[in-house]
């Protein structure tokens, strides 16, 4: 694969991540008995929230979520799917975890590389990579009056996002960001799936 | 009326909307037994929150809420009124709904047109028009640990805001934004009042 | 002291404020039985949240919290301390209040002066000065599903922050911002300590 092909590939995973997290947001919204507008709002927050927070922090232009029409479209599509199809049952339980895990890894890689490319250092890159990956779910949980799962007891999302960001940042300094993005995505996804499978959690602070 | 007169007229509705929503925020704050600082904070969030979120997203300069002194002043005035006058009873029940409805319509129109003028497309315009109109109430509800009314069961605020945004966006592409703003305000306000009157709500998702 | 020495001095108080508020956030997170990632998130929010909101509003570049590595470092250090040391007991009860009070005053002074220097007027300066000082605690409380203490019944934080901002703004117009920063810090800190000591609170609105 050429570098352009790889980047295109990663951007499509990014968008698939938006779609799947939007579906997840809408599913959670339906479980909370929200109306259709509520589903759309939760889908947008879940799918686009993390990237929006990152872009607002970077202040290097409006969020990609509003400048690239594919992002809103993917989020709306996610909500639409949940309204039309009964997204649940065994098929969903099998499809969701790997895509969710891949999206988390890609988002962490994309967020940390975008931060480095905007001229910031390692610490901001790790912070914004992690925020990109977990910010949407954080906001979604807050809106539904839940203590965000990221803060404790869930499947190591934040830890996996931080690990993926570390790999991406390292690869950037080694001048192999494209391969690094894939490695970061793999590391982040593997950690999420491992944590889900083995029910890992961090010690209480 | 000339175009300038119309725009001035719409901006005043915008400010009256800030004032009335600030009053509403402070009234809700008093019901939650907050102290005077709490009232001011809720008044600012209710009156200015939606426009602030929009302006932070657009990244085309600081929020109008902090660059135009009339906005903070209107919000503070709203809080002051609630501290001095007992804002409740039949008069308030008759005055509030139409102004609230007009403000929602104007905010949706202003938000979507501002997004289009900043160079964005239809989807961002609809999204930010709606956020401008309902964002303040959303944040206010979150602060008071309520699931935002917009997400389900309230008087179709988000749907009305989206409809008003659609009218405004359409008018912009037809090169009649001024007339369109008035039409959008009318459509948004009519929907809110109709929903309130007939107790309409959306199906659970 | 020369002016540069004074400014350096104030910036160090600012950073010490980040450290201590990060410690406070992590202590609160541990009391809520969050895991170590939760502690770090709460430390970052408590220590850096107010300044981030201010900088995002001002739109004059990315938040200092991500451009100056000392800020993230101070917040992480705060979380680390709480993980290693048992931060509680009589020593903490004696050390925390004065530093917390000094940080609030410095943050209010720094926030309002930064707003004025960015070209805004008195009202935005007072609003953003206050937000800088109390915003982090506000967000931290929201995340933990508490109605933010600032809205009612706590030790006059918002009032003290507003008073400190008023002093700082006044000093800026009198062309003595450095002395004014110290005076503002002193006024804010004194009010917080007085309110804590005398258990002062505002009337319910």
CA dihedral angle for residue C176, residue C137, residue C53, residue C165, rounded to 10 degrees:
-20
Among A28-32, C98-102, C201-205, the least confident range: C201-205
The distance between the two most distant Cα atoms of chain B, rounded to a whole number of Å, is 49
Would you say C53 and C131 are in contact if contact means Cβ atoms under 8 Å apart?
yes
Residue B120 contacts A where some CB pair is shorter than 8 Å: yes
Radius of gyration of chain B (CA): 16
Q: Which residues of C touch B84 (CB under 8 A)?
A: none
Question: Position of tokens 């004025």?
Answer: C116
Q: Determine the Cα–Cα distance for residues A79 and A77; give it in Å rounded to an integer.
A: 5
CA dihedral angle for residue A88, residue A91, residue A95, residue A96, rounded to 10 degrees:
20
Distance from CA of B12 to the nearest CA of C (A): 20
Q: Which DSSP string corresponds to chain A? A: --HHHHHHHHHHHHHHHHHHHHHHHHHHHHHTT-BHHHHHHHHHHHHHHHHHHHHHHHTSSS-HHHHSHHHHHHHHHHHHHHHHS---HHHHHHHHHHHHHHHHHHHHHHHHHHHHHTT--HHHHHHHHHHHHHHHHHHHHHHTT---GGGTTSSSHHHHHHHHHHHHHHHHHTT-HHHHHHHHHHHHHHHHHHHHHHT--PPB-
pLDDT(C90) > 70:
yes
Q: Determine the Cα–Cα distance for residues C83 and C142; give it in Å rounded to an integer.
A: 23
Q: Determine the Cα–Cα distance for residues B123 and A67; give it in Å rounded to an integer.
A: 10
Q: What is the pLDDT of residues B59-87, one digit of tens each?
A: 888 999 999 999 999 999 999 999 998 77
The number of C-beta contacts closer than 8 angstroms across A and B is 81
Q: Which residues are within 8 A (CB) of B118 and not within 5 positions of it... i.e. 6 or more apart? A: A62, B58, B60
For residue B44, give the 3-state DSSP assignment: helix
Structure confidence at residue C202 (pLDDT): 67
Q: What is the pLDDT of residues C7-40, one digit of tens each?
A: 676 677 788 889 988 988 898 888 888 888 889 9
| Geometric angle at alpha carbon C202, from C199 and C203, rounded to 5° | 120
Q: Which residues are within 8 A (CB) of C109 and not within 5 positions of it... i.e. 6 or more apart? A: C10, C129, C164, C165, C167, C168, C180, C181, C184, C185, C188
Query: Which chain C residue is nearest to residue B54, measuring alpha carbons?
Result: C57
Q: What is the pLDDT of residues A73-127, one digit of tens each?
A: 999 999 999 999 876 677 777 877 888 888 889 899 989 998 998 899 999 999 9
Q: At what angle do helices A3-31 and A36-58 cross, to 10 degrees?
A: 140
Query: Which chain A residue is nearest to residue B128, measuring alpha carbons?
Result: A66
Neighbours of B142 (CB within 10 A): 18
Distance from CA of A141 to the nearest CA of B (A): 11
Distance from CA of A114 to the nearest CA of B (A): 17
Would you say A15 and B137 are in contact if contact means Cβ atoms under 8 Å apart?
no
Residue A124 contacts C where some CB pair is shorter than 8 Å: yes
Structure confidence at residue B1 (pLDDT): 46
Q: Which residues of A touch B151 (CB under 8 A)?
A: 29, 34-35, 37-38, 41-42, 143
Q: Which residues of B touch A52 (CB under 8 A)?
A: 57
Structure confidence at residue A86 (pLDDT): 76
Q: What is the pLDDT of residues C115-169, one digit of tens each?
A: 998 889 999 999 999 999 999 988 888 888 888 877 766 658 888 999 999 999 9
The number of C-beta contacts closer than 8 angstroms across B and C is 79
| Contacting subunits of C (3+ beta carbon pairs below 8 A) | A, B
Cross-chain residue pair A147–C142, CB shorter than 8 Å: no
Name which of B128, B145, B152 is nearest A33 (Cβ-Cβ).
B152
Q: Which residues of B touch C128 (CB under 8 A)?
A: 66
ipTM: 0.86
Q: Determine the Cα–Cα distance for residues B124 and B107; give it in Å rounded to an integer.
A: 15
| Contacting subunits of B (3+ beta carbon pairs below 8 A) | A, C
């Amino acid at each position: 694969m050429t570098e352009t092909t790889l980047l295109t590939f990663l951007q499509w995973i990014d968008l698939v991540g938006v779609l799947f997290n939007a579906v997840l947001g809408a599913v959670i919204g339906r479980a909370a008995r929200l109306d259709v507008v509520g589903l759309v709002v939760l889908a947008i927050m879940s799918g686009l929230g993390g990237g929006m927070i990152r872009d607002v922090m970077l202040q290097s232009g409006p969020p990609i979520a509003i400048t690239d029409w594919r992002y809103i479209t993917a989020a709306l599509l996610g909500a639409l799917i949940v309204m039309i199809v009964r997204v649940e049952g065994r098929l969903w339980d099998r499809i969701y975890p790997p895509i969710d895990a891949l999206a988390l890894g890609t988002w962490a890689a994309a967020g940390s590389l975008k931060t480095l490319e905007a001229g910031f250092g390692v610490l901001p890159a790790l912070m914004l990579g992690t925020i990109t990956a977990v910010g949407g779910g954080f906001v979604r949980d807050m809106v539904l009056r839940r203590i965000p799962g990221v803060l404790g007891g869930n499947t190591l999302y934040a830890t996996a996002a931080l690990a993926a960001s570390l790999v991406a940042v390292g690869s950037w300094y080694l001048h192999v960001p494209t391969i690094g993005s894939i490695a970061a995505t793999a590391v982040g996804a593997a950690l999420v799936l491992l944590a889900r499978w083995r029910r890992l959690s961090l010690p209480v602070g």
